[in-house]
Amino acid sequence: MANKVEVKELLDAGVHFGHLTRRWNPNMAPYIYMERNGIHIINLYKSAAKMQEAGEALNKIAASGRKILFVATKKQAKEIVAEHAAKANMPYITERWPGGMLTNFITIRKAVKKMASIDRMKKDGTFNTLSKKERLQVDRLRAKLEKNLGSISEMSRLPSALFVVDITREHIAVKEAQKLNIPIFAMVDTNSDPREVEYVIPSNDDASKSIDKVVSYMADAIIAGLSERKNNKEEKGDNKEEKADKAAKAAKAKKSEDKVEAPAKAEKAEVEVPSKDAEDKKAMKEAKKEVKLESKEETVEKAADSTEEKE
């Protein structure tokens, strides 16, 4: 669960300053509080509410184990975004946005693999077998790839969300994410169109203090989601162990019961139990009819005859 956003802190960070009134986007009208000295002032109560909403959504995405890509190529945002994204263990782009980063992700992955293959060459010694000129070329290629794609080297699949600072500047990233239906979280200033973003955070995207305030809040929400996921995994592991122990104990108890019950079952098996089958009962009745029982007098006479014969 994301922490509550304090409006006073946003005010101190200068999140409320918008652009000049002549450069405004009319679609930002619901988020503008007033105009002062030719500059639009953003409604911080709405900014706080939107920040909290975005923080909760990012928390859930992180808790599900998916990646969030941070995008900020403007000078004042680069270092801030890189620092907070690295802290949250999320990929980020702070240099030029590589065209097709999302829509042509397979090619970008090949470039990242190329970087890994150069590292392997250096480890196994094949790099030293190259000529001096070739080594220089490989080193330059490695440095270029590291600069542009080093921060996304661990991103093996498309991100589940994008966090963008200044959607007007990063319009290519926004368009690519829209094509692939990837949700966009963004800091939107008064000169941008909020309709292009799923989670709008109306704020000043030019001041470093404002960027730091918003990005740090989002990074903290992601870190909270990741720790929640870790705790759930540990609990599941403990529950599995408990279940396994219970199952083993139950199996042992069952075996001991079977040993005790085995002789009793054998004794029961020895005792003949009259059949309950209808056909068997019918056969028994017919057999009784066929067998003619002798009277007491007849048996005495037969016994006397047999003694006489012997004499």
Confidence of residue 122 (pLDDT cuts 50, 70, 90): confident
Question: pLDDT-derived band of residue 295, with 50, 70 and 90 as boundaries?
Answer: low
The whole-number average pLDDT for the span 146-174 is 90
Positive or negative: CA dihedral 155, 157, 162, 166: positive
CATH 3.40.50.10490-classified regions of the chain: 1-97+159-255
pLDDT surpasses 60 at 41:
yes
> So what's the pLDDT on residue 234?
81
> Over the stretch 175-199, which tens digit does the pLDDT of each residue have?
999 999 999 999 999 999 999 999 9
pLDDT value of position 311: 54
Structure tokens of 77? 């945002």
In what side-by-side order are the strands of the sheet with 161-165? 92-93, 68-71, 161-165, 184-188, 199-202
Choose between 185 and 125: higher pLDDT: 185
pLDDT of residue 284: 67
Domain with CATH 1.10.287.610 in the chain: 103-157
- The rounded mean pLDDT for the chain is 84
Per-residue pLDDT at 290 exceeds 70? no
Radius of gyration of the chain (CA): 41
Query: How many whole angstroms separate alpha carbon 229 and alpha carbon 236?
Result: 11
pLDDT in the model for residue 306 = 62
Can you tell me whether residue 54 is helix, strand or coil?
A: helix
Beta-carbon contacts of residue 56 (< 8 Å; ≥ 6 apart): 1, 2, 221
Mean pLDDT confidence for 289-311: 60
The segment with the largest mean pLDDT, out of 117-121, 171-175, 273-277, is 171-175
Q: What is the pLDDT of residue 199?
A: 94
Backbone angles phi, psi at 62, to 5 degrees: -65, -40
CA distance 284 to 294: 19
Average pLDDT over residues 228-245: 76
pTM for this predicted structure? 0.72
172: pLDDT confidence band, cut at 50, 70 and 90?
very high
CA–CA gap between residue 44 and residue 302 (Å, rounded) = 123
Place of tokens 């802290």: 87
CATH of the domain spanning 103-157, picked from 1.10.260.40, 1.10.287.610, 3.30.930.10, 3.40.50.12170: 1.10.287.610
| pLDDT at site 153 | 84
DSSP symbols for 65-106: T--EEEE--SHHHHHHHHHHHHHTT--EE-SPPPTTTTTTHH
Which CATH code of 3.40.50.10140, 3.40.50.360, 1.10.3720.10, 3.40.50.10490 fits the domain covering 1-97+159-255?
Answer: 3.40.50.10490
Residue 103 to residue 232: CA distance in whole angstroms: 34
Query: What pLDDT shows up at residue 155?
Result: 87
Tell me what pLDDT residue 126 has. 86
Helix, strand or coil, per DSSP, at residue 40: strand
Q: Using one digit for the tens of pLDDT, what is the confidence trace for 65-111?
A: 899 999 999 999 999 999 999 999 999 999 889 888 999 999 988 88
CB atoms within 10 A of CB 304: 9
Sheet holding 17-20, edge to edge: 17-20, 39-42, 32-36
Residue type, 137: Q
- Taking only the tens place, the pLDDT of each residue in 241-287 is 677 677 777 777 777 766 666 555 555 544 455 556 666 666 666 76
Instruction: Indicate the pLDDT class of residue 310, thresholds 50, 70 and 90.
Output: low
Record the tokens describing residue 102, joined without a space.
């999302």
Q: What value does the mean pLDDT take over residues 213-242?
A: 85
The neighbour count for residue 207, using CB atoms within 10 Å, is: 16
Q: Which helix or strand (DSSP H or E) is residue 187 part of?
A: strand 184-188
Q: Residues 201, 163: contact at Cβ < 8 Å?
A: no
